[in-house]
Amino acid sequence: MKVSVIATVLNEGASIKQLLDSLVAQNRQPDEVVIVDGGSTDDTRSIIESYRPKLPLRLICSPGANISQGRNMAIAAATGPIIASTDAGVVLDPDWLAELVKYFASPAPSQVVSGFFVPRTETAFEAAMGATVLPLLSDINPQTFLPSSRSIAFTKQAWQAVKGYPEWLDFCEDLIFDFNLKAYYAPFAFASKAIVYFKPRGNLSAFFKQYYQYARGDGKADLWRKRHAIRYLTYLAALPLFILLTLLVSPWWGVLGAFGGGLGLLYTPYRRLVAGWGKLTFRQKLEAVFWTLVIRLTGDVAKMVGYPIGWRWRLRHLKQDPRLHWRQ
């Protein structure tokens, strides 16, 4: 069974080696690796080329291609019937590809296999970031899990059936791809040991930009209306109301609001943080507790800024572009 690993890159000179090294170290070697470069201006392409003696590489250069276009180009060029997708900037577990592929060789083969992903953290900030934005394996319901395209495998036939990744989206494209695959091939198989490791964002500025872009993508694609509505109601209605009740009625309203709001915002990230902070010093643990709160609030602000901008774009293009009606 021929398996093609695909990825897209853009100015990944500082991180692409770790992905390529982990591909070389796979216990089940890929039959080909197809990488689309979106117009890197650093040494990304030369580093990839240097791995030709170690990997069956195909490098496609397409300046200006977005992530969806790059993935679709790579998959279209792949010659294997099985596609395994990942990203630059990650490290693949040595059994990653073997764990994904085995589900296609079972007596009832899957069309889509979800892998998993975990953060590689060193600092208190990274530990807080991972706990805030990433699920634990114990949080996953395989029946409803929507895999990231940094760790997923599917048949080329399935990709063709859903007409590939949505090239009109620059972010959240893998969610739309997942939803479309679910419509045809649910439930997906879940390969819990097909793990990729990656670094969370290292500072608040980069995190804000990332979650602003995610939320803008949500608005463009009309995703998670209820989640975004709850967020706006929490910060723009419930929070001012509790402040007024605290000032005008009783300080206990402030205590109640702080407890309820803190529980809703921070219970899950603090539970994840405690589950994975064994290597941190006591001081780092205190720092991580603080950063978790800051990161959660920063992410919520970024989403509230990005989502309406995405919706504005959607309203401008809704009549002209039939692809925006993807739910139909």
So what's the pLDDT on residue 105? Answer: 85
User: Which run of H or of E encompasses 158?
Assistant: helix 156-161
Determine the Cα–Cα distance for residues 139 and 131; give it in Å rounded to an integer: 12
**CB-based contact 26:98 (threshold 8 Å):** yes
Ranges of the chain whose pLDDT falls below 50: none
- What are the E-state strand segments in the chain? 3-9, 32-37, 57-61, 82-85, 90-92, 112-119, 152-155, 189-198
Single out the residue of 303, 293, 126, 291 nearest to residue 225, CA to CA.
303
pLDDT score at 89: 87
* Per-residue model confidence (pLDDT) at position 106: 79
Can you give the pLDDT at residue 261?
87
Q: Angle at Cα 64 formed by Cα 34 and Cα 58, nearest 5°? A: 15
Distance CA 208, CA 88 (A): 20
CATH 3.90.550.10 location in the chain: 3-198
Q: Which homologous superfamily does the CATH classification assign to the domain defined by 3-198? A: Spore Coat Polysaccharide Biosynthesis Protein SpsA; Chain A (3.90.550.10)
The strand pair at 112-119 and 189-198 is best described as: parallel
pLDDT of residue 294: 97
pLDDT at 114: 97
Q: How much of the chain is in helix, strand and coil states, percent to nearest 5?
A: 55, 15, 30
